[in-house]
Every structure is written in structure tokens, then in C-alpha cells.
Structure 1
């Protein structure tokens, strides 16, 4: 129950015991992230197949390949959509409420996932153009899931387990990556069962088989399934008690909503809302916001930006890692469907052994070690492993010295410490640091900075290493090691949030107390200057 100074519903939410609805909320929000990851990463398993299907030149003996600019468009247009979607839906979530916007993102993802698989046209350009159009709007819907899921989970959770719950939502991204590889692997294997076991099938014959064209469409359309299954439960969720009470000013409705889904007794205390509403009256980009949270926003945005440069550049060495692990063969030696199988298998193995464990280490340790330590540790270890790969690249990839296993271990550890590190904590911290009125928008701005970093990594760093020369890759890995050190340094702009209420972290409690004191003394409310 609340103290005399605090709003009862906020104290009740902060101190509520962990119960079934908390886990239900994790699944509901997490399935959105499962879908996000599946939709974003499944394109990697089929992009080479698109090249074989639509850019095959019968005058050559080489399999078809997407031109570099087309490959960038196919794989990167969803990142552009995600960035814009984050900013738009993040802002809308603060203006209209989390729940009102939450279902829209899923509907958009379902429609665009299906339409991506139905991309038809009379020419290769028209098919790829249609695919890119729907992939952009798919990313737009995915972008909305970032700030809304994080904000909803943070506002539902109690203060003792809030970080673990938000991290668990984000950890569903790891499951989505695993299933993107698994689904593509299973489907390609099913279609391959129709053909002889000999993988050295004439490339252009197999590439034009109906199964190859069906495969990539089915993989993309299956992304609509988890999102559609989650829609009903998202619409059943009530608006968060914090938004209803502090922004809409309806303590009675907030108490009724939270009492209905959580096993806690709540008091409406409508009379106390004026103090808290005063603490939420300053706007984004006002002098008061910059005084209180300017460095926080710089810290969350910069660390996410720097992390994603490295995170989305980590496939620079895949062309050497995957063959060394026996997961892939040269494209000219395998059929189109078998190439999808091998790429999907490689993605599945790396996600299962390197990516997935890192997410859940964060879930289990974030309330013990804290966000700050995990983020510092992750950036530091990523920098160390990338620097080693950069310095010893030629030695590690040389099969004759039998050190390729070390190459694979170092590669896997960079993924592990990305996820047991800044890839998870940069998602958690913006959901905790900012006031209720601008929480979703500030998370969206931080996430959008991350996607800008992803574009630098996916298009800038990888374009620099397009020729695949060892010298270029070594230099790029050293650059990435330096960006991680920068991320390590910028982490010091972000405070530890473990074990504190959202209102205490954001300073809303402080302003509320000032307002209460002023009203008791007969003064006017403390309302920060707005612009």
C-alpha cells in the first residue's frame, strides 16, 4: 500500500509481487519482438536465392547474384522503415496512449508480411521493387513495436524485476532470429527432398523450378502468423496505470484497470493527481527537459548508435567463418535450394550458440549486476574480441594452422557479449530514465539513433569491405573495436536505474514533492518553462 506522500497506484505497481499477468505481458509484448526479429532477419536467408531467380545470366556459368545496390535495397529498406516507424509510433504512443497504438503496429506487420510474399511483377525490377515497397512498411510497423513494448513493460513491472522483464521482452528477438533460420532450413530441406542427394545440380535449371520461387514467398509470409496470433491479446490489455493516471488524469480508471489484471488492492486518490500532473507538464526539448534529461538522452542515443554500427557489421567475416565451420560451400558448387539450406543452417547455429544465450544472461543477471556494469562489460569485451580478429585475421582464417575453431569462438563471443551487454541494455534504459509524458518518444529517439547506426554498419562499413580484401576487413574490424570503446565511454552518461521506481528515476517524485510543498505554503504550482 502507498505511503501518505505517494500515489497509491504507483506504489502498488512498484511493490506488487511478481504474478502470472507479468509473465503474460512479457509473452504478449515479446511475441511482437519475436515477429520483428523474424521479419528483419529472414531476408538474409533468401537474399541469395532472389539473385539466382531474378538476376541469372544464361550467358555465364555463374549463379545469379543481386547487384550490390539491389542487395542493399532488399536487405536495408526495412531498416529505413524501422527508423521512421520508431519515431512516428513512439511520439504517437505518448500522445494517444500506449494501447491505442499498440494494435496498429501488429496489423501493419501482418498485412505487409503477407504482401511481401505476394510480390509479383512482369520483370525482375518490378518484383524486387514491390518487395522493397512492402518491406519498408513492414519495417515501419516493426519500428513502432520498439518504444511501445519497452514502455508498456516498464510501466507494468514492479521495481525489483523491471529490468529483467523488459530484457525478457527483448530476448524474444533471439528466438525470432533462431526461428528465421530454422523455418528457412526446414522448408528448403522439404523442397530439396524432391531432388537427388547430389548437390551439384545445374544451377539455372534448379533456380527456375517452382519450388525456389515458392520458398522465399512462404518464408516471408510466415512472419504474419505470430503477429496475427498476438493481436487479440494485445487488444485485451488495459492501458498502463501510469499513463491513465498521470497523463489522462483518471486515477479511478487506472485503479480499476490495474486491479482487474493484477492481484493488488488500489485506491484511486484522484485528489493527489494534481501534484503528479505538474511533474509531467514540461515538454520534450524544453529547457527543463534538457536540464534534467539532456545528458541521459545523449547517453542512450549515442550508445545505441555506436552499438548498432558494430552489431550490424558483424557479418563481415561470415564468408570465412561459415566455410571454416563446415556450414556453407561456395555458391557455384551448390544448387539454389541447397544454398538457402546452408545459409539458414549457419544462421541457426550462430544464433543458437552465440546470440540466444547472451539475451538470457542479461535477463538473469540484470537485477544483480545492474544495467551500467553489463553495458560496460559488453562494450569492452566486444572491442577486445573484434580487435583480436582484426589483428590476427589472416592467421585465424588460414585452415592450414588449424586455428579456425578459435576464429569461430571469437566470432561467437562478439555476439554473446553484444547481447549480454549493450544490445539488451540500450533497449532497457530508455524505458526507465524518462518521464511518463515523453517516455515512449525518448525511447523511440534512442532506438532510431540505433537504426541510424545499423545503416552505417550495413551500408557504410560493409561497402568499404565490398572487395573482400583482407587488409580492408582487418582495418574495418579495428574501426569497429574503436566504436565499441566509444560506446564504453558514452555509457558513463547513463545512471544506474536498478531497484528504483520510474518516478524516482525520472525526477517526477522530486517535482511532485516541490509542488505539494508550494501548494501547502499557498504558492502556485511549480510548472517548468515550456517552449
Structure 2
């Protein structure tokens, strides 16, 4: 049976698009701009790190990061992100979204700056401190996922909610693009230091003392956009849904939303008390906890769907993104390291990743923003997984064909399409849906669990791709890489992973056009025998 909905929530659901919507998108989205910049700028500089710290004296070849070091540099931030998603997701439901929102941004700013200031007297010392600071950078980034998604979903109206949440996530695309552009500018600025072309038999000639500044400046720049939005993030009021449904303060919720909506909103404390009934009642749909039978019955399949699809997506998405440079090298699009100096290599890697971001990644995000409230979340996610599968197979099966010089452009076009349909597809929808379908008191927790599952997939993808894609190459063996299954078979594995994502999508409900309370069941109550007849017996549960 439906309850009478609070006026403040009805006002939010039916509000016309206003300036505060766009302000919220910028404030919450700038965190994701920083997230993407920090996570995806590292591939632009890993080859430079190898040259600076691992070039062997007297060796005719430029140095590369050993396998275990490359895994650590690329993957440690993902481990921190997973921990941050779980911790801040839980904390966001316990303390409120706003109270911990500024903390995540502060951690990101400090850790970005500290990453660029990594210190040590030996290569091991520098890389160790870099990994330490990047773990905490990831920890702050992780907290931004459940908090930003939930805040935007709870501010938005139900008609355009999907577009607003997707817009926040679409700032990732600009962050990836900015990472490439900053790398291009910095490397181009420092390249003038070379007086002569590098010599193939003298890798030391491809380095200048200024090379160590390049990667530090690139990583530290990630602190700038986050720091600029810190003040405005702290000025945002707590969401009305948390204040009314979880904190049970109807007066404060009405006051906050009156300012935001620029209209009078009535405080309905009596109705708020009825919706948030005492947890001692036997048949209360609004008191069950995360580990209760009622949650498993009501939302268990939904949580399984959001976690599994995000996990499978990120295996493919992060492995492709973090190791773009290896894919470009494998098809011969990037010159051999001996043919360019260290900073030129940064420039060429950044140019390639920027081109892919500009042509595939960024447009994909904004196609989702344009169509998500018209096509629906389910269709976009299913379509995205389908085309990612198709293009991965199209790259993998005739892989030897694409490695030929005259066909490289075709490879890059299809590779860009995989990123386009990842973002006009599951990479966006897996972020949107968990912020809509779970109860307010568990919303950031469940989003944190879902996104943490995604980062677990990213860790599998990042570590697994690094090893699996290696062929029996002597230079790689010298750097400590085991023989893998090769790039072709790795792409086939990623295609199969995307295919499994299509199957798991059927466990995720469609949330288009419904209020958050309709989706979570918070506007319904059980009444006596009707409850028993329609839902089965209900046991008393204790919220977590």
C-alpha cells in the first residue's frame, strides 16, 4: 500500500530543471574529473618512470619498469579506490552525505600533490612512496563514487534524473582528456631541453635532468580542479531524502530545499515519523538492514546484478584504458623506445590516448546523457555490452591483419568504438542505477558495494592484462614478465567478459521515470494479513 509522500520529496521529483541542478552537476562532477585525471594519467608516465629509474648502466636499451613494479604503480590506486568505496559508502549512510563529502576531496588534493613529491634516494624508494600516496589518492577517489552518485540522485527530479547522474559521471571523460592534454603540454614544454637526437646505442642520451620533473608535474596537476571546488562542495546542504527519511528531521529538510528550490516547502514531521516508523514494529518495510532476509528478498537480486555487471565491465574497461600504450606498441603505432627520447615518448603516448578519448570516450559519455531518460538504463547497458563484445571480437579474431601497417587506422577506429560503447553503455549505467534502486538509509552503502565490485574487476583487469597480453618477447623476459597468452587471446577473453555482462544485465531493474521511493519501496507499507498474503511471512530484523 502506498504511503502519502512527503511534500519536500514530491517537490524535488517534479521540480523543473533549474540552475541548482547544473550547479550540483559541476560541484559533484568535478570530483569525477579529478578521479579520472588521477587514475588515467599514470599510463602516460609509466614508460618515463622506467627510463629514469630502471635504465641499466651500459645497456643499449632504455629501461622499463619491472613487472611487479608496473603492477604496483598501475594497480595500487585501484586497491585504495575499492577500500574507499566500501568505507565511505557505509559512512555516507551513517553520518550523512555532506558530512563526509568534503573529506574525500581533501584526501584527493593532498594525495595528488604528495604523489608528485614522491621522494627517495633509490629507485625503489621513489616508487614505494609513489605507490603509498597513490593508494590514499585512490581511497579518496573511492569515496567520491557513492557520495556523488547518491547526492545527485537525491537532488534530481525523476524525469531527468538519469541525465543528471550520467552528467556527473561524464566528467570522467573530460578528466581523461585533460590528463592527455596536460601530458602533451608538459612534455612539449620540456622537450626543448634536448640539444641532439637520442642515440640508439646510448639510452642515457635520451634523458635529461628535467625529465624527472615531467611526471611529477603531470601527477600534481590533478589537485587543482579538486581544490577549486572544495568551498562549494562544503556549502551544499544535506540532501532532503537523507534528512527526512534517515535523520527524520522534516523541518530541516524543508528549510534546505526551500532555499535550493526557491519556493516554500512545508515541513511534515508527522508524516515523516510515519514513514520512518520505529524499528521495533514487526512488519516495517522501512527498518530492515543490509544483512536481513527482507533485504535479500527485496533487493538481493538487484545488488547481485549491479555488482556483477560492474565487475565484468571494469575487467574490460580498465585493462583497455590503463594499458593503451601496450596495445598501441603491439600494433606498431608507437615507435620503438630506442627511436625517441624519454620525453618524446611521453608525448606520443599522451597523443594516442588523447585521440582515443576525443573520438570515442568523451562522445560516449554524452550520448548516454542525451538518451538515458528516453531509451532507459536497461537498453543502453545491454546495447553497450553487445557492441563492446562485437568490436572486441572484431579486433581479436583477425588480430594479425590489424598489426600490418596499412591496417592500423582501422584497428584504432574499432578500438575507439569499444570505448564509445563502453561509455554509451555499461560504464555509465552501472554508475547510475545503484544510486536509484536502493533505500535511502542503505543507498550509499549499496552503491559503494557495487562500485567496489567494479574496482575488484579493474584490479583483475589491470593485473591480469599485464601478464596475459605478453608474448614470449626477450626484452619483456628480461624485465621479469612471464610468458602470457598474447594480445590476441587476451582480447578474446575481454570479449567473452563483455558477453557475460549482457547476461547479468537481466538482473538489473529498469528505473527510468520512477521516483526513488517507488524504486526502493519506501513509499509502501504492510498492513496485517494483506502483507502476509502478498509477501509471505515476515521476521523481525535488526538494521545494520
TM-score category of the 2 structures, normalised to the smaller one: over 0.9
Q: Secondary structure in 2 aligned to 1:266? A: coil
Which stretch of the first structure deviates more once superposed, 482-491 or 197-206?
A: 197-206
Which residue of structure 1 aligns with residue 251 of structure 2? Answer: 252
Which residue of structure 2 aligns with residue 271 of structure 1? Answer: 270
Contact 1:287–1:530 (Cα < 8 Å) also in 2? no
Which residue of structure 1 aligns with residue 134 of structure 2? Answer: 135
Distance 2:3 2:393 in 1: 55
**Of 416, 422, 427, the match for 2:426:** 422
Contact 2:331–2:404 (Cα < 8 Å) also in 1? no
Distance 1:4 1:480, change over 3 A: closer
Which residue of structure 2 aligns with residue 167 of structure 1? Answer: 166
Which residue of structure 2 aligns with residue 330 of structure 1? Answer: 336
State the shift of 1:265 in Å.
2.7
Instruction: Find out whether 1:455 has 2:469 as its counterpart.
Output: no
| 1:42-66 deviation digits (Å, cap 9, x = unpaired) | 1111111111111110121111111
Contact 1:203–1:336 (Cα < 8 Å) also in 2? no
State the shift of 1:355 in Å.
0.6
State the shift of 1:495 in Å.
1.0
Distance 1:36 1:379 in 2: 23
Distance 1:325 1:361, change over 3 A: farther
State the shift of 1:255 in Å.
0.5
Which residue of structure 1 aligns with residue 517 of structure 2? Answer: 503
Distance 1:170 1:514, change over 3 A: farther
State the shift of 1:280 in Å.
3.0
Which residue of structure 1 aligns with residue 290 of structure 2? Answer: 284
State the shift of 1:148 in Å.
0.2
Give the TM-score, by structure 2 length. Answer: 0.91
Distance 1:277 1:48, change over 3 A: same
Which stretch of the first structure deviates more once superposed, 49-58 or 153-162?
A: 49-58
Instruction: Find out whether 1:440 has 2:444 as its counterpart.
Output: yes
Distance 2:396 2:324 in 1: 10
State the shift of 1:474 in Å.
2.0
Contact 1:321–1:397 (Cα < 8 Å) also in 2? no
Which residue of structure 2 aligns with residue 90 of structure 1? Answer: 89
Distance 1:154 1:468, change over 3 A: farther
Give the TM-score, by structure 1 length. Answer: 0.93
State the shift of 1:462 in Å.
3.0
Distance 2:394 2:540 in 1: 50
**Of 296, 301, 309, the match for 1:303:** 309
Distance 1:155 1:437 in 2: 12
Please, which runs of 5 or more residues in structure 2 have no aligned partner? 278-284, 474-483, 532-537
Which residue of structure 2 aligns with residue 474 of structure 1? Answer: 488
Distance 1:376 1:347 in 2: 26
Q: Secondary structure in 2 aligned to 1:176? A: helix
Contact 2:6–2:272 (Cα < 8 Å) also in 1? yes
Distance 1:89 1:235 in 2: 16
Distance 1:105 1:320, change over 3 A: closer
State the shift of 1:317 in Å.
6.9
Q: Alignment RMSD, CA only?
A: 2.0
Which residue of structure 2 aligns with residue 368 of structure 1? Answer: 374
State the shift of 1:193 in Å.
2.3
State the shift of 1:473 in Å.
2.1
**Of 338, 345, 348, the match for 1:342:** 348
Which residue of structure 1 aligns with residue 413 of structure 2? Answer: 409
State the shift of 1:264 in Å.
3.2
Which stretch of the first structure deviates more once superposed, 478-487 or 411-420?
A: 478-487
Distance 1:50 1:301 in 2: 34
Equivalences for residues 373-392 of structure 1 within 5 A? 373-392=379-398
Which residue of structure 2 aligns with residue 521 of structure 1? Answer: none
Distance 1:168 1:514, change over 3 A: farther
Distance 2:180 2:173 in 1: 11
| 1:418-470 deviation digits (Å, cap 9, x = unpaired) | 00000000000000010000000000000000000011111123312222689
Contact 1:150–1:166 (Cα < 8 Å) also in 2? yes
Distance 1:144 1:69 in 2: 27
Aligned residues: 516
Which residue of structure 1 aligns with residue 143 of structure 2? Answer: 144
Distance 1:179 1:101 in 2: 27
Distance 1:34 1:267 in 2: 36
Equivalences for residues 49-128 of structure 1 within 5 A? 49-128=48-127
Distance 2:540 2:386 in 1: 39
Please, which runs of 5 or more residues in structure 1 have no aligned partner? 519-525
Distance 2:3 2:301 in 1: 32
Contact 1:325–1:408 (Cα < 8 Å) also in 2? no
Q: Secondary structure in 1 aligned to 2:523? A: helix
Contact 1:376–1:488 (Cα < 8 Å) also in 2? yes
Which stretch of the first structure deviates more once superposed, 228-237 or 215-224?
A: 215-224
